[in-house]
Amino acid sequence: QSATMQQSLCLRNAVVLDNVKSHKIFVKKNGWLINNFLDLEKIFEELNGLGSKAELDIKSKESYEIAMKLLDYRILAKRIYEI
């Protein structure tokens, strides 16, 4: 995980991340996991074909929900103290 990835999620951005085990929990309906640069071309085509901004708004909302669940320091600290 990078600070850039974490900030992107917290700022409600759709994300494009390498398809590695540590990233999988951060990508659901909010973005894409890629294996190579050819996957980027597919993503750009998909974005180009989006019918409305509403589809990106869904990804945005999902990114924020993931960030609050997995990256919020208050929640992380609470988990640590519960152990």
Q: Which conformational region is residue 18 in: left (phi greater than 0), alpha (psi within -120 to 50 degrees), or beta?
A: beta
The encoded tokens of residue 39 equal 């996957």
pLDDT, position 78: 81
Taking phi over 0 as left and psi of -120 to 50 as alpha, with beta for the rest, 12 belongs to: left
**Residue range 59-73, pLDDT digits in tens:** 999 999 999 999 988
In 3D space, the residue among 46, 57, 61 whose CA is nearest the CA of residue 10 turns out to be 61
pLDDT digits (tens, 9 = 90+) for 26-57: 999 999 999 999 999 999 888 888 767 888 89
Intra-chain end-to-end CA distance of the chain, in Å: 23
pLDDT at 76: 79
